[in-house]
A and B are shown apart, each in its own frame.
Chain A
Amino acid sequence: MKRGLVFYAVAAYLFLHVPLLILAVFSFNSSRFTMWQGFSLAWYREAFADRDLLESAANSLIIAIAATALATIVGTLAAYGLWKHSSGAASRAIAGSLYLSLVTPEIVTGISLLALFQWVFRFLNLRLGMHTVILAHVAFSVAYVVTVVMARLRTFDPALEEAALDLGASHYGAFFRVTLPYLAPGVAAAAMLAFTVSIDDYVITSLVAGVDSQTLPMAIYSLARKGVSPVLNAVSTLVVAGLGTVVLVSERLRAR
């Protein structure tokens, strides 16, 4: 049975990883057809010459950085507040709604935020754009931040904080000088996860984005709907390599 399990696991890992590897290999193919003709960087050159793709990549980076910063701050504070006081009604309500937001199907989150923005726009002279995308991304990534920071908090010894208080630190002083430094690897890991979910999101983003805020996933999606293209293979390879690096670093930090 043991050997069967090993064979199975090898097959399962191949299933999980080979499709992306094939995509990466063919992004270096000099032919645009699915026949290997020789090594070429032509599709990468073409991708970097595409103003539309570059602009949407820049938008994605701006959105992801802004959303990550906000979600990490809000999420870290909330995780600490919940950890300190998990039994209160407010805490239970926040924990419950964070949890619910995590299991809400993306399409539902997307249309509910769209409905919210359109309703607010009746009273304010605003339009869909980068700001609505950033707010939406903060909304769906904050639950990830809380989950990851909370996991780190569970390994924190509250006596350390009490010692700081006994030695005359204020609550804020104890938080910023004792607890937060301990949480740092968890917070960094949480930020990286928030960054990856933000930079990858298509479903919610496409609903709340305006004409001037096309993101990279939106550009990839509209290319993919037109069909397979070697330029898209090159873009995909770059995104996967970039995100893969972020995830590996984040996993390292989390394991610390």
Chain B
Amino acid sequence: MKRWQMIKLGLILAMYTIVGCVGLAFVYNSTSKTIAQRQEADLQAGLREVFPKATGFTPTDTVKSTNPTIVFDAAYTANGPSGSLGIAVKVHGPSYGGPTTLIVGVSIDGTITGVKVLENKDTPGLGANAASPTYYVDKASKTTFPGQFAGKKLTDGFVVKKDVIAITSATITSRSITNLVQAVGKAASEVLGTGISSPSPSSQDPSAVLPSVDTVRTSSKPATSSVPGISILETSVGTKAGTIVGASAKAKAKNYDGEVTVLVGVSTDGTILGVQILECTDSQGSPILAPEFAQQFAGKKAGAPLEVGTNIDAASGTTSSSRGATALVKATADALVKALAGGGL
């Protein structure tokens, strides 16, 4: 009889649940239209805020996100009186307490026109300050956290706590918003043809990781890595007075949830001469772009193990990205050592 009692209770509970659901369905039906309208109005207001001078916005689907966790919900071309002013993108990506949605405007000259936080679910009083119009990261000039991006050039640095002022006690929020802004900036600049996708010429130059060589030329035989998933893009050789003293390679691999590109220079005796992290599209990965992270590799032996936590310090908050980048550096250095030993470069 106990079983019947349980089934009876289950049925009673189910009745209450069904009645509750039907009630909710009615309320949802009557409010969903209004909510959608509000969100649309919010979006329009946000677009106006990042492009105050625009006369209208035309949806475009040319802007694509390269990172699967950063989603471009919609992109618009801002139309001015005389042609396009730039691109505004509604973007969402992961943050501390759930997805954060922003509108980011990028002008045709490669500057960020403005950032507006549409939705942020982070801790009230801390991360949620990103959306607060009265929380200033710079009290003197009354600059809000998203406000500091306005006018920033895409060629400028985007490292939180260095180039971007973080929200107090909300570094993760600050970083994820900065990443979203940077991702939109990069994607939009490719479409706009402002050609800022490569950070700056000097940091791409192999001589930056091959100090004390006098000529750098492209290798006649590219280095190859035996580690799966790593592609070596360019191999260069550094010579001093005619003899090869080192080699460098640009390599790319999948990382935590995006991709990382590094430039590694190795001397003929197997010492890592220099490393640059050129690009990282991980959602929380921007701290590894800081020179402090890359500098740790210089002077280390390519043959020795390189491990985050033992002889490499992770960039703060991005252990996974740091690990991936370290593994890539190690594999690239090994490939270079092998190539140098094999000769014929």
Same complex = no
Residues of chain A touching chain B, judged by Cβ–Cβ distance below 8 Å, are none
